[in-house]
Structure 1
Amino acid sequence: MLASLAIRDVVLIERLDLSFGPGLTALTGETGAGKSILLDSLGLACGARADSGMVRAGQAQASVTACFLPPEGHPSSAILEEQGIAAEETLVLRRVVQADGRSRAFVNDQPVAVALLRRLAATLVEVQGQHDQVGLADPATHAGLLDAFGGLEGRRAAVAEAWGRLRGAERALAEAREAIAAAQRDEEFLRHAVEELSALSPEEGEEEALAAERQRLQQGERRSEQIAGALAALQPRDRRAGSPAAALREATRALERLPPPNEEAQPILAHLAAAQDALAEAEALLERLLQEGGPDPRRLEQVEERLFALRAAARKHAVAVVELPALLVSLKERLAALDAGTGRVAALEAAAREAREGYLSAARALSAARRDAAGRLERAIAQELPPLRLDRARFVAEVAAREEEGWGPEGMDRVTFLVATNPGTPPGRLDRIASGGELSRLMLALKVVLARGSPVPTLIFDEVDAGIGGATAAAVGERLARVAERLQVLVVTHSPQVAARGAQQMRVAKQVRGERAATVVEPLDRRARREEIARMLAGERVTEAARAAADSLLEGTLL
């Protein structure tokens, strides 16, 4: 409910702090006192259009703060969560308007867009005025209100659940059909690619292993070349080129031919013999290394061919070599889906048909229940109309079948509340009725019947009693009080019968201070209420008879 309203420098209001309680609150006062300014101020906090004319003359800015106490599980909590704003026990909507017409909006002291104020306010407060109807006048709300009146929440939830299953089944079927169509378009490519990659048979980690082996083989080849070079230096192929071994032998023979005594040559001969033995050992080792460690040229060729083939396939399919095995699996799956696609589509078609039948069954049951509830709603509204001087009006809750493209989680129906205010005229939409007073009273009748299902906890009626009096005004007051048993109701009224029904009453007055006028609002106690209602009954001159009549109204004896 609306807990409080703080207004600063709005038109004729300098500073005003109001507190509201549950039930019915009556706002009374003479014409022109500024009751409409209160509603306009609340409208600002609720996201209405702002302009510089709202700012009190001579002030830099105006501000309005509305504090609400939403019930547990109220839709505003979901909106706040969506916006990343923590939901608290009190929901504060604030609007600041600059003298140049620019404005800022705040929710729980966090700056927000004005559109968010409007979204939140639509769940918190509803205004029913002679020329500004919202809520019930919006056909988008009618299905939900009818379902709430008829107690059809369970059927409505079943329809929404069936709709979700149907949409899911239809999406799965559409995706399967698209996949098969795409596979059929690419069938020739798929089969060729699978055949080619299957022949290649890429393995996980193969590229890395082949590259390492190739490097090892290439290094082995260079090693063998160096060993062969060393051996060639010791054993030159050109016999004309002297080899180290031949040089050692030639030196040995030369020293052996020395004439005796040649004892001094013996140590040299021993070294030469040792050198020949060491040289022979080195040649033997080099020959063994060359024979045992030499690379297999054929293996290096095979490794390079395999590596090049893998990389060529990867380039062809625009993937990394490491992704080739997964690509082969994917292509095989697409082929398998193509081969088995007819059977899968048939199964999905059967599932979609079953889901459709489930939705149709639930939606038709909801439609039948709605038609029954519509008849009960029409009869309930018809009982409320005559006391409100609407005995010639006829209310219709129309439940019409939608075309299939209009089906949805709320069912297959278009629910519209219609009214005909004169006999012989066809019923029309609520928001197109010419008479503001008639529409306000009709809205009141609807609220009396539909209060149980209203998602909005606070209702405001602006002069719903305009142009009526006596028994009709008393009937309006009685019905406002009935609505206020379930919802918080604020009513701007000139009717003493309506004002007397309020759990609390506030008087709006205009005071002139010097050359400036200001609007003030005063909560009334029992004695002040008696005087105010007596004034409403008698006019400027309050008589004892008017006071006695006011007492009777407040005590309920004249209602």
Structure 2
Amino acid sequence: MTLRRIRIQGLGVIDEAELDLSPGLNVITGETGAGKTMVVSGLGLLLGARADAGLVRSGTPQAVVEGEVDVPADHPAARRVTEAGGDASDGVLLVRTVATEGRSRAYVGGRSAPVAVLAEVGQHLVAVHGQADQWRLRDAEQHRILLDTAGGPELAAALEAYEEVFDAWQAARHRLVEVVRGAAERSLRVDVLRAALTEIDGLDPQEGEEDDLRAESERLSHAEELQTASWAAHDALVGPDDPGVDVASVAQLVSTASSALAPAAAHDPELDALRRRLDEIGYLASDLASDLSGYAAGVDVDAERLDAVHRRRADLTALLRRFGPTTRELLRFAREARDELSRLDLSADDVDELARRTESLRVQVGRLGAQLSSVREETARRVGREVGEELSHLAMGTAEVVVHVGRRPAAATGPDARAQSRETDEPTSSGDEPPGTVPLPDGRQAVPRRHGLDDVEIRLSANPGAPPRSVARAASGGELSRVMLALEVVCGDDSLPTYVFDEVDAGVGGSAALDLGARLARLARTAQVVVVTHLGQVAAYADRHLVVRKSSDGQVTRSDVVVVDGADRESELARMLGGVADSRAATEHARELLARRGLEARA
């Protein structure tokens, strides 16, 4: 999972540039004002940062940033692209445009998408650590996430067990609140549902019955008319059953016609075919007459049955007016009413059992939460120690890092209890214990959240004797980047494929710069790292070295990005080390750094 290529057009001093990145450590260097920060700004746009029309290069209609990322199809970023309608079958393509009037557009996987989707995809791909972008350290929730990541499988298992019980407790709590709080309404609703179901079950309607009754009512109401018409048609076809009545029927006339054709039909096949058709008409007339006779005999002239059908229709119509326009809707209402009644119609024993289960889950949440806190506290001590050791190699040797794990205290009564109630969606109780709290094994109470009982804060004491404060307030911009680097080395995992560090080397020099480069190279063993730096000691550790170069024709200044290697790379490192690219001493120093990097890489 790597950021393969970035293309930038019309962004600040960059007219057009393409950055081909390697999987390991990529460094971006260049003279002051060449546009190194534009590379990071472009990457920020690609990850959903707020658009600024001032970034668009003068004389250019729009700025365009395009990024190609290699990720498997099952990666969260690829899945989000697919959900947005884009194509992620062969990696992910991200595009962001910013017009001169400020209008911005985003594309993910070849499809237009809101900028928010671009940001969601980016969160799974790249973490940008610049002096103005340390959101992971400014967001208290991210402190806990970093600690939990560092805790490994043991902490993950403790968190999973806690979350499972917490979710069950929340469901039971809300169910109990629903039952107890709405007792009067629930009782009334139960009565209404029971009455409706009693009435429906008493009638026992069948789906489609209203149509059957309507047809039967119509037939019974016109029974005599139906009989008279069918007998008349029968007599016309085959004659009346009374032998004393001599009426020419269809069957007789057809028979006469067939007999008239029979002698001559023997001499002409065409006429014989016509005679056979006459015979068929005779057979059909006879069959139809038989059917009419059966129908007439089956017509039921039953006044009592007609009255019963009318009563049934009236009763069914009354139900349909109240519960549904058709029997289909009526029966669906009955099913839903039975389901609702089964949920609402709880006995006192049922309520007591629900309350006991809720309390049992509450105790389990406290017990598992305390176990989770214990694992976090142990992890916090280790992380603080290891991050401090990392900072000692990053020109922050006197800094002390403390990962504070503290439980949210439970207020007993009054406004604090009501505030906690709002946070946990729990009504204020009248008992001695505040709502939404859980008991700890030591007898105290704690306010739980889905992630546990703890508030986690990474604190930094930058100087000896200074009290630790939240790292976001205690560290300068450059220190924040270095603290983040140390945290990523200690706490990072493989879920985030790319890290970007901008000016992580601010205020660093000498041997500390070599340590900084070594730490970045160490992080690059498990993730792709992109670093903007002005230190040759850091740049010497790069797996790929990119240089932002500025050129001018006297009127227009533009920048592009090139990959340097061999003598060109030595020349760039010499410029960074000595201020000029052709300094013999600086060139020798550059070669020494590259040789040292090669030895460390082989070690």
Q: Same fold (TM over 0.5)?
A: yes
- Do structure 1's residue 154 and structure 2's residue 160 form an aligned pair? no
Alpha carbons of 1:15 and 1:185: their partners in 2 closer, same or farther (altered >3 Å)? same
**Quick check: 1:47 aligned with 2:88?**
no
Q: 1:329 to 1:487 in 2, by over 3 A?
A: closer
1:16 paired with 2:57, answer no
Cα distance change of structure 1 residues 104 and 309 upon mapping to structure 2, 3 Å threshold: closer
| Farther-moved stretch of structure 1 (159-168 vs 465-474) | 159-168
Query: Contact conserved, 2:81 with 2:109, CA < 8 A, in 1?
Result: no
Q: Does 1:521 align with 2:561?
A: yes
Structure 2 CA distance for aligned equivalents of residues 120 and 322 of structure 1: 46
Relative to structure 1, the CA distance from residue 343 to residue 12 in structure 2 (aligned partners, 3 Å threshold; closer, same or farther) is same
Cα deviation code 1:257-310 (max 9, x no counterpart): xxxxxxxxxxxxxxxxxxxxxxxxxxxxxxxxxxxx996656654553454344
Aligned 8 A contact 1:106 1:112 in 2: yes
**Contact conserved, 2:581 with 2:587, CA < 8 A, in 1?**
no
- The secondary structure found in structure 2 opposite 1:411 is coil
Within the candidate set 384, 397, 407, 2:403 is matched to: 397
Aligned to 1:134: 135
TM-aligned CA distance change 1:211 to 1:377, over 3 Å = same
Aligned 1:185-200 pairs, distance under 5 A: 185-186=188-189, 189=192
Residue 115 of structure 2 corresponds to: 114
* CA spacing shift, 1:172–1:536, aligned 2, 3 Å: same
Counterpart CA distance in 1 for 2:208 and 2:130 is: 77
Query: 1:393: Cα distance to partner?
Result: 2.1
Q: What is aligned with 2:571?
A: 531
| 1:411 match | 452
The alignment status of 1:102 with 2:103, answered yes or no, reads: yes
Change (3 A) 1:64 1:211: closer
Q: Which residue in the other structure is 1:237 paired with?
A: none
Residues 215 and 52 (structure 1 numbering): CA distance in 2 closer, same or farther, change over 3 Å?
closer
Contact 1:28 1:507 in 2 (8 A): yes
d(CA) in 1 for partners of 2:5, 2:11:
16
Q: Aligned letter for 1:23? A: G
In 2, Cα distance between equivalents of 1:303 and 1:62: 79
Pick closer, same or farther for the CA change 1:172–1:89 going to 2, 3 Å. Answer: farther
* Contact 1:224-1:295 at 8 Å conserved across structures: no
Q: 1:376 and 2:404 equivalent?
A: no
Give the aligned partner of residue 219 of structure 1: 222
The answer to whether the aligner puts 1:436 opposite 2:477 as a matched pair is yes
Q: Does 1:308 align with 2:314?
A: yes
d(CA) in 2 for partners of 1:224, 1:444: 98
| Structure 2 residue aligned with 1:143 | 144
Could you tell which deviates more after superposition, 206-215 or 506-515?
206-215
Kindly state the Cα deviation for residue 368 of structure 1 after the two structures are TM-superposed: 1.3
SS at match of 1:385: helix
Residues 197-212 of structure 1: pairs in structure 2 closer than 5 A: 211=214
Give the counterpart letter for 1:395 in structure 2: V
Instruction: Sort the Cα spacing of 1:313 and 1:119 in 2 relative to 1 into closer, same or farther, 3 A.
Output: closer
C-alpha separation in 1, matches of 2:486 and 2:56: 37
Distance of 1:134 and 1:445 partners within structure 2? 16
Offset at 1:190? 5.4
Counterpart of 1:388 in 2: which secondary structure? coil
- Provide, for residues 339-375 of structure 1, a one-character-per-residue CA deviation record: whole Å limited to 9, x for no partner: 6533333444444444444444433322211111011
CA distance change for structure 1 residues 336 and 498 in 2, over 3 Å: closer, same or farther? closer
Of the three residues 531, 537, 540, the one matched with 1:500 is 540
Q: How many Å apart are 1:5 and its aligned residue?
A: 1.1
* Counterpart code for 2:483: L
The alpha-carbon deviation at position 3 of structure 1 amounts to 0.9
Which has the larger Rg?
A: 1
In the aligned structure 2, how far is the partner of 1:335 from the partner of 1:525? 77
Amino acid at match of 2:145: G
1:426/1:181 Cα in 2 relative to 1: closer, same or farther (>3 Å)? farther
- TM-score, reference length from structure 1: 0.77
Check whether the contact 1:207–1:322 (CA below 8 A) recurs between aligned residues.
no
Matched to 2:458, the amino acid is F
Q: Percent identity?
A: 37
Deviation (angstroms), 1:110 = 1.2
Matched AA of 1:51? D
Give runs of aligned pairs for residues 92-491 of structure 1, distance below 5 A. Answer: 92-151=93-152, 152-170=155-173, 173=176, 182-186=185-189, 189=192, 211=214, 214-220=217-223, 300-315=306-321, 320=326, 341-402=347-408, 405=424, 407-433=448-474, 435-451=476-492, 453=493, 455-491=495-531
Secondary structure of 1:135 counterpart: helix
Q: Displacement of 1:76 after TM fit? A: 0.8
Partner of 1:62: 63
Number of equivalences: 492
Q: Provide the residue aligned with 1:289 in structure 2.
A: none
Q: What is the DSSP-based 3-state SS (H/G/I as helix, E as strand, rest coil) of the residue aligned with 2:222?
A: helix
**TM-score, reference length from structure 2:** 0.72
Distance 1:355 1:83, change over 3 A: farther
1:211–1:424 CA distance, 2 compared to 1 (3 A): same
Instruction: Summarize the Cα distance change of 1:371–1:71 in structure 2 as closer, same or farther, 3 Å threshold.
Output: farther
Q: Is the 8 A contact 1:459 1:487 kept in 2?
A: yes
Distance in 1 between residues matched to 2:545 and 2:226, nearest whole Å: 107
d(CA) in 1 for partners of 2:335, 2:515 = 78
Structure 1 distance, partners of 2:105, 2:334, is: 60
Matched to 2:115, the amino acid is V
CA contact (8 A) 2:398 2:464 kept: yes
C-alpha distance in structure 1 between counterparts of 2:543 and 2:99, whole Å: 36
Q: Aligned partners of 1:30, 1:223: CA distance in 2, in Å?
A: 104
Partner SS state of residue 66, structure 1: strand
Q: Could you tell me which residue of structure 1 aligns to residue 260 of structure 2?
A: none
Q: Which runs of 5+ in 2 are unaligned?
A: 230-298, 411-419, 425-446
Aligned residue for 2:5, secondary structure, equals strand
Structure 1 gaps, min length 5: 227-292
- Distance in 2 (CA, whole Å) between partners of 1:116 and 1:295 is 73
Q: Greater shift after overlay, 133-142 or 523-532? A: 133-142
CA deviation vs aligned residue, 1:214-269 (integer Å, no higher than 9, x gap): 4455335779999xxxxxxxxxxxxxxxxxxxxxxxxxxxxxxxxxxxxxxxxxxx
Residue 459 of structure 1 aligns to which amino acid in structure 2? Y
Once residues 335 and 176 of structure 1 are traced to their aligned partners in structure 2, the CA distance between those partners, rounded to angstroms, is: 13
Q: CA separation of 1:434/1:110 partners in 2, compared to 1, >3 Å: closer, same or farther? A: same
Q: CA deviation at 1:184?
A: 1.0
